[in-house]
Structure 1
Amino acid sequence: MNARASMLAVALAAMASLFGSLSSAQAGVFDDDEARKAIVDLRTQVKQNDEASKARVDQLAGQMNDLLLPLRRSILDLNGQIEALRADVAKLRGQNEQLARDLTDAQRKLTDQVLALESRLRPLEPQKVSLDGKDFQVDPEERRQYEAATGLVRRGDFAEADAALQAFLRRYSASGYADSVRFSLGIAQYGNRNCKDAITSFKAFIASAKDHPRAPDAALTLANCQADLKDVKAAKRSLEELIKTYPGTEQAKAAKERLTSLK
Structure 2
Amino acid sequence: MNPSRFPLSPRALLLAVMLGGFASSSYALFGDDEARRAIIEMRQRLDGMQQSQQRMGEDNAQMRRSLLELQSQIEQLKADQAKLRGQNEQLLRDTSELQRNQRDIAKGMDERLRQFEPMSVNVDGQEFVADPTEKRDFEAALAVFRSGKYPEASSAFTTFLGQWPKSGYASSARFWLGNAQYATRNYKEAIANFRSLLNATPLHGRAPEAALSIANCQIELKDNKGARKTLEDLVRNYPNSEAAGAAKNRLATLK
User: Which bin holds the TM-score, normalised by the shorter protein?
Assistant: 0.5 to 0.7
1:29-63 C-alpha deviation (Å, 9 max, x unpaired): xxxxxxxxxxxxxxxxxxxxxxxxxxxxxxxxxxx
- Aligned pairs for 1:105-144 within 5 A: 105-144=97-136
Return the offset for 1:135: 2.8
Q: Please name the residue that 2:188 is paired with.
A: 196
Segments of 4+ moved more than 6 angstroms = 91-99
Match of 1:184 among 173, 176, 187: 176
**In the alignment, which residue of structure 1 is the partner of 2:235?**
243
Structure ID, larger Rg: 1
Q: Which runs of 5+ in 2 are unaligned?
A: 1-82
Q: Which secondary structure does the structure 1 equivalent of 2:115 belong to? A: helix
Q: Does 1:262 align with 2:240?
A: no
Deviation at 1:249, TM superposition (A): 2.9
Question: Residue in 2 aligned with 1:24?
Answer: none
Asked if residue 146 in structure 1 is aligned to residue 134 in structure 2, the reply is no
> Is 2:212 the counterpart of 1:220?
yes
Q: Which amino acid aligns with 2:164?
A: Y
Alignment partners' CA distance in 1, 2:96 and 2:240: 68
- Describe the shift of the 1:94–1:253 C-alpha distance in structure 2 as closer, same or farther (beyond 3 A): closer
TM-score by length of 1: 0.59
Shift of 1:180: 1.0
Q: 1:110 to 1:225 in 2, by over 3 A?
A: same
Number of residues of Structure 1 aligned to a counterpart in Structure 2: 228
Q: Residue type matched to 2:222 in 1?
A: K
Structure 2 Cα separation of the partners of residues 256 and 98 of structure 1: 80
Shift of 1:160: 0.6
- 1:94, distance to aligned residue in structure 2 (A): 9.4
Equivalent AA in structure 2 for residue 161 of structure 1: A
Find the aligned partners of 1:135 and 1:249 in 2 and give their Cα distance: 20
Residue of structure 2 in register with 1:210 after alignment: 202
1:160 match: secondary structure: helix
Runs of 5+ unmatched residues, structure 1: 1-90
Cα distance change, pair 113–196 in 1 and its aligned pair in 2 (3 A)? same
Is the partner of 1:128 in helix, strand or coil? strand
Partner of 2:22: none
Q: Which residue of 1 aligns with 2:8?
A: none
Alignment of 1:1-263 (within 5 A): 103-263=95-255
When residues 95 and 168 of structure 1 are mapped into structure 2, their CA distance, relative to the original with a 3 A threshold, is same
Structure with the bigger percentage of helix: 1
- Counterpart residue type for residue 191 of structure 1: A
Structure 1 residues 97, 252: closer, same or farther in 2, change over 3 A?
closer
Q: Aligned with 1:113: secondary structure? A: helix
Distance 2:101 2:147 in 1: 47
Instruction: Rate the CA distance shift 1:129–1:248 in 2: closer, same or farther, 3 A.
Output: closer
Amino acid corresponding to residue 113 of structure 1 in structure 2: I
Larger relative contact order, structure 1 or 2 (CA cutoff 8 Å, min sep 6): 2
Which piece of structure 1 moves more, 230-239 or 193-202?
230-239
User: Are 2:126 and 2:205, in contact at CA under 8 Å, matched by a contact in 1?
Assistant: no
Shift of 1:92: 10
Give the structure 2 partner of residue 18 of structure 1.
Answer: none
- Name the CA distance, whole Å, in 2 between partners of 1:113 and 1:250: 51
Instruction: Give the partner amino acid of 2:155.
Output: A
Q: What root-mean-square deviation, in Å, do the aligned CA atoms of Structure 1 and Structure 2 show?
A: 5.1
